[in-house]
């Protein structure tokens, strides 16, 4: 009994330790369950999580499930993470050395687990790999060494007793075998002779946690889809601080894996000549050198540089491993990517979104040599809202030893200086339960960026707040209003006294389509309000990078009668990329669908004015992407996304930015803005005008846009 109990905390070691030799007398495998039937057979389901039959792969609302065998598996996400239950096998006799199985989903012992019971007692248990946001629904082989139980009757119970995040389990193909298919810890020692380590990646391979140790100190710890064999891409990590030292790579891998052998040192971050020359690399939208990006973070101008930080997975092209990437630009157009801005404190304690400011008056006391510090706030997923500062133009950051400064259920702190009340403000997303009515932007204040006091909150917003004050163009002299933004691009116009936001209108929307989590720069020259958003869902299949930022725009606030609303226009600096201009003769335009005589490059800009027909849709096709205006409905539609757009006169003005993978449309001096995914079909006409009877073209100029990367 003592020996059995000792095994449980060790999870039966999942065959960690020595490998089992491949003996010629290995017996044929015995399949306990492959879950390919119309029901569970002799297995007994209790509760709601497992239903009455195996799942046919991914269930509604679930990330894609991968690496199961056949067409079905056990998947307890039947009613989401809120359902619970068990699935218990009929008794069987243990006749081989190992029990192999595929397992995925939640990583919570006793809550999302697979258990082996002998005489009614749990002797082995296993879970999926996931306990944090993100993760993967891929199943992976695991194994129990059951040789000591040979000949005994056993039962397998699959348990879902968790209702929170990752409150489900995936299981498939349970097999008795004389050979283990599980993973075990593998290590490799390497002397660091070069500033970077390169890792082979194959997207879709099992995600594994890899550690780089220097003795007992963990230098880096991240999840990675390591490639065995030919990699799909190479990713890197900076190990320059440990040059000359010997480190240990540590990862759980199958016995025959050679993935760690392929890891090697490099003098450059990106090896090979293809950087910024990739087939789908955007020409003027920001993308990371390698890996995934999402929310823009820490947008701040300081000492001649615009800083763009962003949510970043350096080790793969899908979401995960949230670091802060970092790039700088003198002009919002030509970006230079630097090293990682913020590393996670530890694996699973990700560096989520946040913001940055210049502490001009040095209220924090962190300034040095008469220079103000850069200060940022970010969400540590394991701690709360945290503060860090930099005295070297944002190249390195020091954590405030009083972190977290705000602890709550929420994320994404937005810092700003409220001049009227002479204090710092943090606008931060917070939640008190499900539903939009329980999702808030909360306001905290501080005299010194260290000590924060809760003041108020406003309901109806989700994630990534932004708060900015703007002059009202067309309003009374010195009229100014505050804008409160949420991640989805909806905003309120109102008053803010440094503690409470009072809306003066209903929510409005400026942006439509692939646009999320936008943020405006702080400390900009001349007080310009420059915004960058994430082009959420703009993907680049087969590329070593994924997702892009929307082109930077300047926001202005306009009054038309009693109505006050935002407008967006691409920043003037983008015009520096303009090359050849092709002006179309207005008289050449024909009624119907007419191919315009322009042959732009991969990146181009259209500036045009149309008179829409009173009936029927007027517009254009940009490399096959439809843009249509209905005068009857007073609506503009781009790739199926529609915005209300009454015209001031008879003309419709459009400005269109086209790049590899996306199209952005700004209508009527930026009263409506669109960002949409679009990879043009081959041999598609660059531009077609759609002019029904009564419509006409007033002007059209097409500009080639040169690559911002100098390629």
Catalytic residues: 295
Contact between residue 679 and residue 575 where contact means Cβ atoms under 8 Å apart: no
Nearest CA to 160 among 122, 206, 115?
A: 115
Rounded CA separation 289/198 (Å) = 14
Nearest CA to 288 among 665, 516, 548?
A: 548
DSSP state of 452: -
Phi-psi region of 265 (alpha: psi -120 to 50; beta: other; left: phi over 0): beta
Residue 635, Cβ density class (10 Å: 0-12 exposed, 13-18 middle, ≥19 buried): middle
Rounded CA separation 131/166 (Å) = 6
Residue 1, Cβ density class (10 Å: 0-12 exposed, 13-18 middle, ≥19 buried): exposed
Nearest CA to 626 among 615, 639, 641?
A: 639
* The pair of three-digit structure tokens given for residue 120, joined into one six-digit string: 């009614």
Residue 429, Cβ density class (10 Å: 0-12 exposed, 13-18 middle, ≥19 buried): buried
Contact between residue 391 and residue 451 where contact means Cβ atoms under 8 Å apart: no
Please write down the HEC assignment for all residues of 15-82. HCCCCCCCCCCCCCCEEEECCCCCCCCCCEEEECCCCCCCECCCCCCCCCEECCCCCCEEECCEEEEC
Contact between residue 603 and residue 284 where contact means Cβ atoms under 8 Å apart: yes
User: Which secondary structure element, helix H or strand E, spans residue 152, and what is its range?
Assistant: none
Non-local (6+) Cβ contacts of 302 within 8 A are 358, 374, 393, 394, 523
Q: What are phi and psi of 186, to 5 degrees?
A: -125, 145
Prior bond of 460 cis (ω within 30°): no
* The pair of three-digit structure tokens given for residue 553, joined into one six-digit string: 């725009």
Contact between residue 694 and residue 314 where contact means Cβ atoms under 8 Å apart: no
Contact between residue 316 and residue 222 where contact means Cβ atoms under 8 Å apart: no
Residue 272, Cβ density class (10 Å: 0-12 exposed, 13-18 middle, ≥19 buried): exposed
Contact between residue 113 and residue 126 where contact means Cβ atoms under 8 Å apart: yes
Rounded CA separation 364/356 (Å) = 14
Q: 36-73 burial, b for 16+ CB within 10 Å, e for fewer?
A: eeeebeebebebebbbeebbebbbeebeebbbbeeebb
């Amino acid at each position: 009994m003592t020996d059995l109990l000792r095994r449980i905390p060790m999870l039966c070691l999942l065959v960690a330790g020595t490998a089992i030799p491949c003996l010629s007398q290995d017996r044929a495998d015995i399949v306990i369950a492959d879950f390919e039937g119309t029901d569970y057979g002799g297995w007994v389901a209790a509760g709601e999580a497992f239903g009455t039959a195996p799942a046919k792969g991914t269930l509604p609302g679930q990330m894609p499930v991968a690496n199961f065998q056949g067409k079905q598996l056990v998947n307890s996400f039947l009613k989401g993470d809120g359902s619970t239950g068990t699935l218990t096998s009929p008794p069987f006799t243990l006749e081989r050395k190992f029990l192999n199985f595929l397992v995925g989903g939640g990583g919570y012992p006793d809550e999302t687990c697979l258990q082996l019971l002998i005489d009614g007692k749990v002797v082995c248990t296993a879970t999926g790999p996931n306990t944090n946001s993100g993760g993967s629904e891929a199943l992976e082989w695991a194994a129990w060494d059951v040789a000591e139980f040979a000949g005994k009757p056993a039962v397998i119970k699959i348990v879902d007793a968790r209702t929170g995040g990752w409150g489900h389990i995936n299981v498939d193909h349970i097999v008795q075998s004389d050979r283990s298919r599980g993973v075990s810890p593998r290590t490799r020692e390497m002397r660091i002779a070069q500033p970077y380590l390169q890792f082979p990646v194959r997207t879709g391979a099992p995600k594994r946690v890899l550690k780089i140790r220097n003795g007992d100190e963990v230098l880096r710890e991240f999840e990675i889809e390591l490639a065995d064999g030919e990699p799909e891409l190479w990713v890197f990590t900076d190990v320059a601080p440990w040059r000359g030292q010997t480190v240990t790579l540590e990862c759980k891998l199958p016995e025959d894996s050679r993935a760690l052998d392929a890891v090697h040192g490099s003098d450059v971050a990106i090896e090979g000549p293809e950087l910024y020359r990739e087939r789908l690399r955007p020409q003027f939208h920001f993308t990371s050198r390698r890996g995934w990006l999402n929310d823009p973070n820490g947008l701040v101008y300081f000492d001649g540089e615009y800083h763009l930080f962003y949510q970043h997975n350096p080790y793969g092209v899908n979401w995960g491993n949230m670091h802060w990437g970092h790039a700088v630009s003198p002009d919002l157009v030509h970006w230079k990517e630097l090293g990682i801005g913020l590393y996670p404190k530890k694996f699973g304690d990700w560096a989520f979104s946040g913001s940055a400011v210049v502490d001009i008056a040095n209220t924090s006391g962190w300034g040095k040599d008469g220079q103000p510090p850069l200060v940022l706030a970010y969400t540590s997923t394991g701690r709360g809202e945290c503060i860090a500062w930099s005295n070297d133009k944002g190249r390195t950051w020091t954590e405030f030893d009083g972190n977290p400064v705000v602890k709550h259920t929420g994320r994404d702190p937005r810092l700003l200086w409220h001049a009227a009340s002479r204090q710092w403000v943090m606008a931060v997303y917070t939640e008190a339960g499900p539903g939009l009515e329980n999702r808030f932007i909360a306001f905290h204040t501080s005299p010194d960026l260290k000590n924060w006091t809760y003041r108020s909150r406003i309901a109806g917003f989700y994630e990534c707040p932004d708060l900015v004050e703007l002059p009202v163009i067309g309003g009374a002299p010195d009229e100014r209003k505050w804008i409160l933004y949420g991640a989805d691009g909806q905003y309120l116009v109102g008053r803010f006294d440094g503690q409470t936001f009072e809306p003066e209108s209903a929510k409005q929307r400026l942006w439509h389509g692939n646009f999320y989590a936008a943020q405006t720069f702080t400390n900009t020259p001349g007080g310009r309000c420059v915004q960058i958003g994430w082009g959420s869902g703009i993907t680049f299949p087969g590329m070593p990078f994924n997702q892009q930022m929307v082109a930077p725009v300047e926001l202005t606030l306009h009054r038309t009668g009693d109505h006050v609303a935002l407008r967006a226009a691409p920043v003037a600096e983008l015009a520096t990329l303009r090359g050849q201009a092709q002006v179309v003769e207005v008289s050449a335009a024909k009624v119907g669908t007419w191919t315009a005589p322009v042959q732009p490059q991969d990146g181009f800009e259209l500036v045009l004015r149309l008179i829409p027909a009173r009936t029927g849709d007027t517009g254009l096709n940009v490399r096959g992407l439809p843009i249509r205006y209905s005068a009857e409905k007073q609506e503009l539609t781009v790739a199926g996304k529609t915005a209300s757009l009454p015209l001031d006169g008879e003309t419709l003005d459009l400005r269109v930015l086209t790049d590899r993978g996306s199209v952005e449309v700004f209508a009527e001096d930026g009263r409506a803005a669109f960002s949409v995914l679009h990879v043009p079909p081959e041999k598609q006409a660059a531009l077609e005008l759609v002019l029904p009877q009564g419509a006409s073209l007033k002007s059209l100029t097409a500009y080639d846009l040169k690559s911002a990367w100098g390629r």
